[in-house]
Chains A and B, each alone.
Chain A
Amino acid sequence: MAKYLKNDDLGQWLSELGADYKVYAPVQEGDSIAFRPFSKGKALRIDRHATVGPKEILFPACEELLRFSYQKDEENPGRENIQVQVEENATPTLIFGSRPCDARGFDVFDGAFTQCSVKDSYYIARREQAAVVSIACTRTENTCFCNWVGGAPDGTNGSDVLLTPIQEGFVAESITEKGEALLAGSNLLAEATPEQEKEAKALRAAAHESLPEAPDFECMPEQLYGLFDNMDFWEKQSAKCISCGACTYLCPTCHCFNITDERQGNEGERLRTWDNCMSRQFTQEASGHNPRSEKAYRLKNRVGHKFCYFPELHKGHIACVGCGRCIKSCPVSLDIRQVVTSAKECRLPAEDNDNE
């Protein structure tokens, strides 16, 4: 059963949720909109897409994996003992105001970090304690293409609650049991009237209509394998790229990371930080060899991972949610839509029968 929340009650509702959760919501910060801890009275920016998505709430840009300290051995002063500690600090967290594409990004993270042979205990600890309240997009932007990659402006994957903004309020639907509990827990939410539900439905349908027609990406793995050795294609596509990594950092699905140590005196920490596959060092080997020494190889892997390798490993799920952030933030306007449609339209040479 759908519920209704008045715009005027939103701040109050978030404050109520704040009793059980650490609440993050999009706010203006300089030129950009980013997710920050919510406190009563803070102005939200939910009228447009956040510049930086909520990925860092569940996968921080920098986090401590462990902490170590060196101590002199009492019996043998020439020797040092090492203590290693892991701090478990995941707390119940509520992400408010993510968009359906952002929430679907967590689906990709779930695939990469939890549906694999070795699981990421740090991500899982946060994910298990997280609730996601997303807002359906009733106005799409010209960089949006969620519908090309299996999503929708009102998609529910990865969310616990989906809100649809209507006149003066939101129609709220629970997607999961966790979401149901969130909606049931407050007197601020009333039952939505049939008119309100109808209005929400119409707005959502209009948003679907506003998106460009979706190409069929079923053939992408085959196309991308077929283009693997066509370096002319990849050099052309990557010609403008300056390997800055903005696309990877802002991407709601990019999950590659680095591990480094910091030491101050006798103690320190092992950190994990977001990493960038568009940088040359990413695959630099000790022998001096580098399988992705040129940016063309790196773009090929980034696009290949999202539209070919990840889908092959995860039941066809494309690891791009069509949020358009990489398009908006690329300093040289490299457009992933254009790369994948060019790849899709490329005529592959007739099967060379060298392989099988």
Chain B
Amino acid sequence: MSKVKNPYLPEMATVQEIIQETHNIKTFRVTLNNEERMKAFSFKPGQVGQLSVFGVGESTFVINSSPTRMDYLQFSVMQAGEVTTRLHTLQPGDQIGVRAPLGNWFPYEDMKGKDVVIVGGGIGMAPLRTLLLYMLDNRDDYGKITVIYGARSPQDLTYSYEFEEWRSAPNMNLVLTVDAEAPGWEHKVGLIPNILLEENPSAENTVAITCGPPIMIKFTLQALKKLGFEDENIYTTLEKRMKCGVGLCGRCNIGTSYVCIDGPVYSFAQLRKLPNEL
């Protein structure tokens, strides 16, 4: 019999805690049932996992907790279709399957010694959160951190219970924005790319990372270019449709690049070299 590891076999995990983030996003904190495995589990900021609801299916979500805080693995799930809707009905104690970590990660090593600009929109904040927490837990390794995070309305911002922690970190600028004025909202109002231009972060020795809906990424990229960022120093994560997550099912390619194993994190310099099929 073949000795090759079965790449489709999930590990069993238990949902420990559920946080209702917004009307359609829930955050799940899960631990692997095998304590040894949970202790030995390691991943890098930006890597993803496949969550299984047996009988419904499997879907891809970024591990948005930080490798520096390993009490649980955290996934934030926006309700979209079958699997995500079923995930939203889970209760603490329920069992799910996890295949993780999968895919590549943010260049958090190469970013050391540099300033970092993070631009997130909506659920796109999930992959950025893991990187942000990692940097906050290794604060001396990185320069100034600017986070621009926007959503449609104040109620659509995820992780709001953490903003105080983020904001109070040294040399950190957290800018929140929503699309339209709202009662009690004391932060910015306006589209993310405009707020980014207003903040006007320096491109010098700085890496920019953006994640969000395709249209937001498009205009954020234009704004970053205007600010003088080079393609090599701008990163994003792609959300292609995936199934296997391990480079075998053939679903997620852009030319020769398989987003599930070669991505989901790409620099714009890398994306430019790939066929134009985002």
Using a CB–CB cutoff of 8 Å, the interface residues on chain A facing chain B are: 65-66, 68, 70, 76, 78-82, 84, 86, 88, 90, 112-113, 116-122, 124-125, 128, 225, 228-229, 255-263, 268, 270, 272, 275, 277, 282-287, 289, 291-292, 297, 301, 304-305, 308-309, 312-313, 355
Contact = CB atoms under 8 A, between A and B. Distances in A.
Given A118-B248, A287-B239, A261 B56 contact: yes
Given A116-B248, A119-B4, A309-B255, A257 B243 contact: yes
B55 A68 contact: yes
B114 interface: no
A204 B261 CA distance: 43
Contacts of B40: none
B255 A263 contact: no
Contacts of B12: 82, 84
A120 B243 CA distance: 14
Nearest to A229: B276
Nearest to B8: A65
Interface in B31-74: 52-58
Contacts of B273: 355
Interface majority SS on A: helix, strand, loop or mixed?
A: mixed
Contacts of A257: 243-244, 248-250
Interface residues of B, number: 49
Interface in B1-17: 1-2, 4-10, 12
Nearest to B54: A68
Interface in B242-259: 243-244, 246-251, 253-256
A118 B9 contact: no
B95 interface: yes
Interface of B: 1-2, 4-10, 12, 52-58, 78, 80-81, 84, 93-95, 97, 213-214, 239-241, 243-244, 246-251, 253-256, 261, 272-273, 275-278
A286 B275 contact: no
Nearest to A267: B55
A80 B240 contact: no
Given A81-B95, A116-B247, A128-B2, A259 B55 contact: no
Contacts of A286: 78, 80-81, 84, 239, 241
Nearest to B96: A82
B54 A121 contact: no
B55 A84 contact: no
Contacts of A297: 277
A261 B57 contact: yes
A283 B4 contact: no
B240 A260 contact: no
A268 B55 contact: yes
B249 A309 contact: no
A120 to B, nearest CB: 5
A192 to B, nearest CB: 36
29 contacts: A65-B8, A70-B54, A90-B1, A112-B250, A118-B248, A120-B4, A121-B2, A122-B8, A124-B4, A125-B2, A225-B275, A257-B244, A257-B249, A257-B250, A258-B243, A261-B53, A261-B57, A268-B54, A270-B52, A275-B249, A275-B250, A275-B251, A286-B78, A286-B81, A289-B214, A305-B253, A312-B256, A313-B256, A355-B272
